[in-house]
A and B are shown apart, each in its own frame.
Chain A
């Protein structure tokens, strides 16, 4: 029973903290630029506001536009139940397979791309085609990183991998891990649509990737799509933090351990958000046809990571 409660708690934690990451990134960027910036809780207010607004649909929209936002939001929410945050007991720990996680996420991306096409706006189509390109380029790098850790821990179960890393195995192959870390960072930037791959703050429709697909979304649909992308980013960052910052995963069920786990998790996530923000500040967005080069670099890093491990 205690395990189940912990699992529920972890699940809720990921979902509630997800918008905060975006808030922290935005706040950090604003502070670095010398402006005040919105509160770090602004994404929550935005979602709340959007849920109260009505949905406006294009007359060309089909049923895809109606169901896609739910699927895009539901997929990451379900996957949040796969992921150990501060304890290895998760809602779906019986089959929390990391390969299943990655490819289920792709289902959300697929429906998001359909949504972009469905409202017959030319920007949406552009966005969808770009998103699919980025997603397909990010995938091999991500899989390579995952295989590296799966080989290390002899399992594709996320909980097992995390436990393995937290027992100090990280230090066993430091070079391999550092390459994997860099590769995974590339993937996270690409999948969550941050600079230099995509610019979430832009108003220029012609340059957008993720934003172009949701240009026509409004009200509840937009809120769901936003939630979907927030949680997706949170899942990737949780994966990243639990593999490369191996603190705070406790087997104990005491209140102290849970409290400490949550605290450390929030600190880790905030830290990553700040790192992403600093990275964004110092880079310009890539040219569209440079994205394959960047993603290829990520793939090569992940490949090196695996080779180094096998040596």
Chain B
């Protein structure tokens, strides 16, 4: 810790340490960022822009992976700032986002095409987080794609409307026969303006909205938001509530990962596995409904604790979990012993470790590529320190590795739930919610969802939320997908749906 601080000292004017967050006001932001990102091997966790009286404050959040430390790098900017996306590729979308939303230009960014504010839909110079009034309804052009134009190269356009019932995303393949020469992704088709919506809302309203950001991660978003608010207001929730939240989080993880595993089976036409996984997922969802009254754990988390006592369903939970464990084990074995399944999974959609590093990939995508950033281990929250589980890290970065990581996550979650449940059912004092008062302030908070960590920034003023900026794990991982399929000889376009499914990224969480 001391060494790190000493090293950083030379890059900055001011250092503030509060808990595990180190806030830095740099002298030279570029060299400091490179030091954090490269030398200390931090992951870029989130970037938040805040509008102040006359200028803007940009906060970069870096997560140190070897110890429970976060770095917040702050810089004050006027109407432009120096782009760092060449040095830190993970910043690419964040800088474009800031340009779209605030009109603050990242100078030197290589690709400043609009990310959210489509030229087909909005007038020029429309920056909703600064001024959301539309001065005219004139659109100013068309989005430029970077198609490869050459003899024999053709474009395959997929989406934004798909054959399956999924969310919108536009994938543009430049193809030479079956191999993919280039994949361009254009997302953000259904921007809901959640950041704008949450401005000056009460905390309960924002908690409610946060559950609707990404459907299957409803609980993780609520948890991330609630923990941030609790941090700002110095609320220490009861042990009972902490364990309850952990159980809920792990159940949500199991339900999501079962869908993922079923999905990859479905995409290689192994429908037996797919059917069983979706049946198991339904069992879990029914259990969640019993526990919380909602199939997605909505309204389970409240500021200061949890809304329901889940202990009466201890036996039922155990029964469902045992069944899940048994059947997932069975299909894990089936997969390991089936040449035809392994043939599809192995070497498909490899994401190299360097790519995962450069783009700060999170969750199972990172774990499968040899990088580890499970916040439950690195930055333990709730009572994850007290439970014993080992997260596996694989190196190959292919669909097989990702599936294996997911399967191990399921087993981990089951053991976490079992030990936590045992704990709380023997508790005499079941204090669901603690009393609290709202304070002003701002903070970053986080939780680990099934896809990776969710980072939330909240600023409270006069008991109202003035800025809420969640960062979905998919926002980091989406950019990795093209590196998994492009320029590879083993993966052709027919493998793309499988690679996509193995990453199972959220469109909604990505597009706030």
Contacts and interface: CB of A to CB of B under 8 A. Distances in A.
A284 B494 contact: no
A122 B155 contact: yes
Given A195-B269, A206-B493, A122 B154 contact: yes
Interface size class of B (residues with CB under 8 A): 20 to 34
A288 B272 contact: no
Contacts of B341: 284
Interface stretch (A12-20, A26-34, A136-144): A26-34
A290 B343 contact: yes
A35 B156 CA distance: 35
A33 B275 contact: yes
Interface string A30-57: 0011110000000000000000000000
A48 B340 CA distance: 37
Contacts of B340: 196, 283-284, 286
Interface in B317-370: 338, 340-341, 343-344, 348
B164 A122 contact: no
Given A207-B497, A289-B492, A290-B343, A284 B272 contact: no
Interface size class of A (residues with CB under 8 A): 20 to 34
A59 interface: no
Nearest to A207: B494
Contact of B271 (A29, A203, A204): A29
B269 A284 contact: yes
B178 interface: yes
A167 interface: no
Most B CB contacts (10 A, CB to CB) among A34, A280, A284, A285 go to: A284
Contact of A34 (B158, B270, B276, B492): B276
B279 interface: yes
A269 B271 CA distance: 23
Contacts of A33: 271-272, 275-276
A202 B492 contact: no
Contacts of A122: 154-157
B267 interface: yes
A284 B340 CA distance: 6
Interface string B274-317: 01100100000000000000000000000000000000000000
22 contacts: A33-B275, A33-B276, A34-B275, A125-B154, A196-B269, A201-B269, A203-B163, A204-B163, A206-B156, A207-B497, A280-B269, A281-B272, A283-B270, A284-B265, A284-B269, A284-B344, A285-B344, A287-B343, A287-B492, A287-B494, A287-B495, A289-B492
Given A207-B494, A284-B268, 7 more contacts: A126-B156, A196-B340, A206-B158, A282-B338, A284-B265, A284-B344, A287-B492
State the 4 A-B residue pairs at the shortest beta-carbon distance, nearest first.
A285-B269, A199-B269, A284-B268, A33-B275
Interface of B: 154-158, 163-164, 177-178, 265, 267-272, 275-276, 279, 338, 340-341, 343-344, 348, 492-497
